[in-house]
Amino acid sequence: MSSVDNENNMLSAARSVLLYGQTIPTDEICQRIEAIEPTDLQRVAEQLFAPENISQLIYK
């Protein structure tokens, strides 16, 4: 493993500790991603793209 890979791993671990107070193992992250269902994506898309969350810029 190169020193760049080690540095990236350490930065990722530090970010995880700062954001979540712990490191999250890569296997657990993969399991969480694989557990996402189409209905989860649909629900998030509906929240993000709800009309009250959309803005429009018209430039002439």
Asked, for residue 58, whether it belongs to a domain, the answer is no
Alpha-helical segments (H) within 1-60: 3-20, 26-34, 38-48
Q: How far apart are CA 33 and CA 23, in angstroms?
A: 16
pLDDT at residue 14, as a whole number: 92
Tens-digit pLDDT string for the chain (60 aa)? 567 788 988 898 899 899 989 988 889 989 999 999 999 999 999 999 998 888 888 888
> pTM of whole model > 0.85?
no
Asked, for residue 9, whether it belongs to a domain, the answer is yes
Asked, for residue 59, whether it belongs to a domain, the answer is no
Asked, for residue 10, whether it belongs to a domain, the answer is yes
Q: How far apart are CA 22 and CA 31, in angstroms?
A: 17
Q: How far apart are CA 3 and CA 10, in angstroms?
A: 10
Q: In the chain, how many domains are there? A: 1
Q: How far is CA 42 from the centre of its chain?
A: 16
Asked, for residue 39, whether it belongs to a domain, the answer is yes
Query: Could you tell me if 24 and 30 are in contact, meaning their C-beta atoms sit under 8 angstroms apart?
Result: no
pLDDT at residue 21, as a whole number: 92
Domain with 38 in it: 3-53
